[in-house]
Amino acid sequence: MRVLWALVRGPVGVASTAFVAVVAALAMAAPWVSRTDPNQITNDVLLAPLTQAVLGTDELGRDVLVGLLYGLRVSLLVGLLAAAFATLVGIAIGALAGYFGGWIDTALMRITEVFQVMPSFILAAVIVALLGPGLTRVVMVIAILSWPEAARVMRGEVLRVKQLEYVDAVRCLGIGELSVMIREVIPNALGPVLAVGTLIIGRAILLEASLSFFGLSSPDSVSWGRMANSGQQFLFAAWWLSVFPGIAIFVTVLMFNLFGDTVGRALNPRYARS
Amino acid sequence: MAELSIRATPGPERGTERQPVAEVQDLHLSYRAGGHPVHAVQGASLTVFDREAVGLVGESGCGKSSLARAIIGLLPEGRTVIEGGRLVVAGRDVTRLSAGEWPGLRGSPVAMVFQDSLSFLNPLMRIGAQVAEAVVRHDPGADPTARVRELIDLVRLPAVAARAYPYELSGGMRQRVAIAIALGCRPRLLVADEPTTALDVTTQAEILKLIAELQASQGMALLLISHDLAVVRALCRRVYVMYAGRTVEWGPTGAVFESPAHPYVHALLGAARTVRDDHGRFATVEGEVPDLRHRIAGCPFAGRCPRALAVCTDRMPAPTRVAGLDTREVRCWLYEPDAAP
Amino acid sequence: MRRYVLSRAAAAVFIIAVVMVVNFLLTHVVPGNPVDALVGEFPAPPEYVEKVKRDFGLDRPLLVQLWLYAAALAQGNLGFSFANREAVLPLILRHAGNTLLLMIPALSAAAIGGILLGSAAARRAGGLYDAALTAVTLAGYATPVFWLAQVLIVIFAVTLHWLPAQGMLSIDQGSGTLASVVKDYLRHLVLPGFAIAISYMAVVARVCRASLLEAMRQDFVLLALSKGLWPARVFWRHVLPNALIPVITVIGYNFGFALTGAILTETVFGWPGLGYLFITSIAKRDYPVLEGIFLLASVAVVLANLLTDLAYAAVDPRVRRSLLGAAA
């Protein structure tokens, strides 16, 4: 497909697409890539990087590099699932609001505004604190907080597409409004929304990292945020415990954001991030 | 155009020694756009004397706007190259004028009115303030408030318009504002680039009438650029016709439009006449406009000309007089006495 | 203009009301019983628990409870924090003050710095400086702010010993002069302020640059030049005011994002503000405080948005025309 070709045009496109592909593969293949259990407690406590362990070990002798690998699974899982849900909800709401207009539009947009106003981290933290931690909960919370952006973009695109003449042409055939919306308008409005969806992945990963940094994510899984948090007390003595997880978060989110830009450009040559 | 009953304004007296307020001599200019340079003007000449109304007509893309911008020094900076020819404004050679020196010449002696004033007015400033800027710049002795009121009145706008923002006015009113701003500069030459193209027919007539009256009463020269022949015919004593970056024929408006010499002008007028309800908008002339990314050695119309000669594709002729008058000239091999058939 | 102000204010009130309802619903989502949510899991005297049950009508229908809850809020009763032995509202407000002491200088510097950087980038469009700005902005979107805070501490406090690593004031400042207290405060402000400011500044600079370039290409610049105005005047009087409009909106509408950043940064730096209160309350399961902070933060964002709407309308006369329901 020409879309796939567009993805690998330009250095940014190549780099980010390659990164995403590699990272996805690593995440799925983690147990085969590294035989070590990330939670394995050893006696090699607080080793500096490039000694025995490539990125060092923490206060319980756990290998940092292996921890990063397993943390990758959690981050990607949460990021992708949350973004997927958020995008689906956003598409539904944005399409309904944009297509039918009127009071439906106003009502839905007011709801969207409410969700956008509430500070995401705080609300997420409060919900998780009240309900208790757990990966599914985290995914749902992040999804709920991220859909407004997708909804807005979708609504904008639907508004644009429904003006196009061929939509009227299809209507003339006597097809019901809902059908027209689903079969004609939505597919053509999807481009920018999918691009925003990939950007949401980055945001979701950051939000999950922030939550786990404060101990609000799932306590049994390895998570970059949690690693960074445990490293907090060792800032003075063992800087690598905080710095490397942070770098992992940073690079991953950056690459996903760039991938999002690339997807946006691939799906619509006019689209350029401002 | 039946409704337009404006008489062309009288020009300066014949026979007096007069200095042109603006003179373009064989100008060549191009824009750098991406990889290819676009040769917008490939040999245009025109002269405007004090207090006379001159028209410049041609299709879209023929270079007339570029010529207008050249006279006021508003060509895109850094991307434009003046490759040849001379530009003289108010007796001063401005061909190689630096960017820092142009502001001294803009407004006065040359002011400009643009096509669509909504985008040409600052949306955040009230009308009165925008007119006042011109006054303060060019009329240091005057009381700005009084003068602004005077100018607004001169263009037949109500006094309250001064407090309005651009978006609150109609297209016609905004063009009046543009004219007021230009007048505030006390120009010797007013260049109007398609001033009425964006307006509806009735408003067009009003604005043109206003321009004509002001030109006479303020004693300005007018260079009216348009693709609308009827408009130019109504207001201008002399006209220049441009095609593909060159001026190809010029002379008294009536004469040129009644009996055009150049085949292109002839085809143009023929096309215009076949469209009855429209007022002189160009219909089609056979063939296509040449690609301005390449310099054309010969006459650019040669490919479409029903009377083209062999020499036409080789080189462009020098201007020749038509019917023995030194006020009418054309660049066409058909009129060159020693051109081979 | 007045109609615009009223309609935006009404929308703000509506949103705050909805947020209140969301907050209310949160307390009823707790798996235990709502009492825990209202009181927290900190051991509380049974009489207080009974009082809460009565005041909030926990045995009454949901709508009645909502009404009682709203009434309590209106009186400023956000509950009592046993962990801190203080009523929630004054507790939060006190910490909010410290957060403002961090945010206001940081965001002001970020906004001004962003505008200056963006202007400089617009002048040198396409050059190395411009590319660097784009890179920094992209990085800013991807950086977890708590990690940036940690890195800053490691570099500047631990390794270089230039600046303090924790807190707002040094412990021994009790009896210092005003000048020395202020100096101490400023020294503590630098690192956390920078952590918050950097990505905000990058966004502002990016938008400023883009909108300046856009404004410089507008037609009204041509007309202004054609009047014979000097380029400097055209820039300050015509280009910049038009360019600042999107900048104002981006500064204002990103307040929520900045607030979240401040809260996260505070925890890493131990700055005694809302973030610090938030995190310690999570650890102590002090739910009323958490809900109170959520409510306050949301209201702050709504107010910031409202102020931005008004500022936008004040600057751009075209906006005042489009009154109701245009915001979407």
Answer yes or no: are the C-beta atoms of A42 and A61 closer than 8 Å: yes
At C59 the pLDDT is 65
How much is the mean pLDDT over chain C?
Answer: 81
Please compute the mean of the pLDDT values over residues C73-83 and round it to a whole number: 75
**Rounded CA separation A272/B18 (Å):** 56
At C327 the pLDDT is 39
Write out the E strands in C33-190: 80-81, 86-87
Contacts of A274 (CB under 8 A, 6+ apart): C207, C210
Answer yes or no: are the C-beta atoms of C104 and C200 closer than 8 Å: no
pTM (two decimals): 0.78
Predicted confidence (pLDDT) at residue B195 exceeds the cutoff of 70: yes
Distance from CA of C228 to the nearest CA of A (A): 33
At C325 the pLDDT is 36
Q: Is the peptide bond before B109 cis (omega within 30 degrees of 0)?
A: yes
**Rounded CA separation C288/C36 (Å):** 9
Element (H, E) at B54: strand B53-57
Answer yes or no: are the C-beta atoms of A126 and A147 closer than 8 Å: no
Predicted confidence (pLDDT) at residue B223 exceeds the cutoff of 90: yes
* Angle, vertex CA B246, rays to CA B241 and CA B250, nearest 5: 30
**Alpha-carbon distance values, A259 to A17, A122, A265, B50, C203 (Å):** 6, 28, 10, 63, 19
What percent of chain C stands above pLDDT 70?
Answer: 87
Task: Of A139, A212, A141, A127, give the one whose Cα is nearest residue C291.
Answer: A127
**Rounded CA separation C270/A96 (Å):** 46
Answer yes or no: are the C-beta atoms of B95 and B41 closer than 8 Å: no
Residue A63, phi then psi, degrees to nearest 5: -75, 130
Token readout for A208 is 């999950």
At C36 the pLDDT is 66
Region of poorest pLDDT, from A208-212, B6-10, B81-85: B6-10
At B6 the pLDDT is 47
Is C18 close to A114, i.e. CB distance below 8 A?
A: yes
**Rounded CA separation B208/B200 (Å):** 12
DSSP secondary structure string for all residues of chain A:
-HHHHHHTSHHHHHHHHHHHHHHHHHHHHHHHH--S-TT---S-TTPPTTSSSTT-B-TT--BHHHHHHHHHHHHHHHHHHHHHHHHHHHHHHHHHHHHH-HHHHHHHHHHHHHHHHS-HHHHHHHHHHHH---HHHHHHHHHHHHHHHHHHHHHHHHHHHTTSHHHHHHHHTT--HHHHIIIIIHHHHHHHHHHHHHHHHHHHHHHHHHHHHTT-S-SSS--HHHHHHHHHTTTTT-THHHHHHHHHHHHHHHHHHHHHHHHHHHH-TT----
**Rg, chain B, Cα only:** 20
Region of poorest pLDDT, from A184-193, B223-232, B267-276, C279-288: B267-276
Predicted confidence (pLDDT) at residue C319 exceeds the cutoff of 50: yes
CB distance from C135 to chain A under 8 Å? no
**Rounded CA separation C203/C115 (Å):** 10
**Alpha-carbon distance values, A188 to A156, A160, A170, A185, A208 (Å):** 12, 10, 14, 6, 32
Give burial (CB, 10 Å; 0-12/13-18/19+) of C139: middle
Token readout for B199 is 């307006």
Give burial (CB, 10 Å; 0-12/13-18/19+) of B221: buried
Would you call B218 helix, strand, or coil by DSSP? Answer: helix
Q: What is the distance of C-alpha A91 from the center of its chain?
A: 16
Predicted confidence (pLDDT) at residue B341 exceeds the cutoff of 70: no
Contacts of A47 (CB under 8 A, 6+ apart): A53, A56, A57
Distance from CA of A131 to the nearest CA of C (A): 6
Confidence band for C321, pLDDT divided at 50, 70 and 90:
low
Percent of chain B as helix, strand, coil, to the nearest 5: 35, 25, 40
Is B74 close to C219, i.e. CB distance below 8 A?
A: no
**Rounded CA separation C44/B115 (Å):** 76
- Could you tell me which CATH number the domain at A2-29+62-266 has? 1.10.3720.10
Residue A172, phi then psi, degrees to nearest 5: -60, -20
Is B178 close to C225, i.e. CB distance below 8 A?
A: no
DSSP secondary structure string for all residues of C215-280:
HHTSHHHHHHHHTT--HHHHIIIIIHHHHHHHHHHHHHHTHHHHHHHHHHHHHHHT-TTHHHHHHH
At B271 the pLDDT is 64
Q: Residues of A with CB below 8 A from C277's CB? A: none
- Give Dmax over CA atoms of chain B in angstroms: 66
Touching pair B, C by Cβ (3+ pairs < 8 Å): yes
At B277 the pLDDT is 45
Task: Of C248, C217, C234, give the one whose Cα is nearest residue C115.
Answer: C248
Task: Of B276, B251, B273, give the one whose Cα is nearest residue B262.
Answer: B251
pLDDT tens sequence across B111-126: 999 987 778 999 999 9
User: Positive or negative, the Cα torsion across B120, B122, B128, B132?
Assistant: negative
Task: Of A163, A180, A164, give the one whose Cα is nearest residue A172.
Answer: A180
**Rg, chain C, Cα only:** 24
Q: What is the dihedral of CA C8, C11, C12, C13, to 10 degrees?
A: 130
Query: Neighbouring chains of A at 3+ CB pairs within 8 Å?
Result: C
Answer yes or no: are the C-beta atoms of B227 and B57 closer than 8 Å: yes
Contacts of B223 (CB under 8 A, 6+ apart): B22, B46, B48, B54, B55, B56, B68, B71, B189, B190, B191, B192
Confidence band for B224, pLDDT divided at 50, 70 and 90:
very high
Contacts of A1 (CB under 8 A, 6+ apart): none
Q: Residues of A with CB below 8 A from C268's CB? A: 232
Residue B299, phi then psi, degrees to nearest 5: -75, 130
Task: Of B234, B222, B231, B212, give the one whose Cα is nearest residue B282.
Answer: B231
Region of poorest pLDDT, from A41-50, B97-106, C113-122: A41-50
Answer yes or no: are the C-beta atoms of C182 and C112 closer than 8 Å: no
**Alpha-carbon distance values, C233 to B256, C90, C194, C216, C239 (Å):** 44, 51, 34, 13, 9
Q: Name which of A68, A96, A120, A121 to mutate to probe chain C: the one with the most chain C Cβ atoms within 10 A of its Cβ.
A: A121
pLDDT tens sequence across B150-165: 999 999 999 999 999 9
At B190 the pLDDT is 94
Confidence band for B284, pLDDT divided at 50, 70 and 90:
low
Predicted confidence (pLDDT) at residue B4 exceeds the cutoff of 50: no
Distance from CA of C228 to the nearest CA of B (A): 4
* Neighbour count for residue B283 (Cβ, 10 Å): 13
**Alpha-carbon distance values, C274 to A73, C42, C98, C260 (Å):** 32, 20, 8, 10
Is A214 close to C259, i.e. CB distance below 8 A?
A: no
At C169 the pLDDT is 74
Residue C159, phi then psi, degrees to nearest 5: -80, -45
Answer yes or no: are the C-beta atoms of A257 and A199 closer than 8 Å: yes
- The domain spans of chain A are 2-29+62-266
User: Positive or negative, the Cα torsion across C315, C316, C321, C327?
Assistant: negative
Please compute the mean of the pLDDT values over residues C304-328 and round it to a whole number: 71
Query: Neighbouring chains of B at 3+ CB pairs within 8 Å?
Result: C
pLDDT tens sequence across C150-201: 888 888 887 777 777 777 777 665 566 777 788 888 888 888 899 889 888 8
User: Positive or negative, the Cα torsion across B175, B176, B181, B184?
Assistant: positive
Predicted confidence (pLDDT) at residue B5 exceeds the cutoff of 50: no
At B76 the pLDDT is 85
Is B114 close to C238, i.e. CB distance below 8 A?
A: no
**Rounded CA separation C235/C213 (Å):** 11
Is A246 close to C14, i.e. CB distance below 8 A?
A: no
Answer yes or no: are the C-beta atoms of A222 and A76 closer than 8 Å: no
Task: Of C283, C292, C327, C321, give the one whose Cα is nearest residue C309.
Answer: C327
At C317 the pLDDT is 82
Q: Which residue has the tokens 């051109």?
A: B339
In the stretch 309-328 of chain C, residues with CB closer than 8 A to chain B read 315-318, 321
**Rounded CA separation C323/C2 (Å):** 10
Contacts of B127 (CB under 8 A, 6+ apart): B121, B152, B161, B162, B163, B164, B165, B166, B169, B177
Query: Neighbouring chains of C at 3+ CB pairs within 8 Å?
Result: A, B
**Alpha-carbon distance values, C302 to A113, A152, A258, C297, C307 (Å):** 10, 18, 31, 9, 9
Predicted confidence (pLDDT) at residue C324 exceeds the cutoff of 50: no
Task: Of C156, C299, C135, give the one whose Cα is nearest residue A114.
Answer: C299
- Which residues of chain A are modeled with pLDDT < 70? 1-9, 35, 38, 43-44, 52-53, 165-166, 268-274
At B56 the pLDDT is 94
Is C151 close to A243, i.e. CB distance below 8 A?
A: yes
Q: Which of C227, C230, C318 sits opposite B123 (nearest CB)?
A: C318
Confidence band for C213, pLDDT divided at 50, 70 and 90:
confident
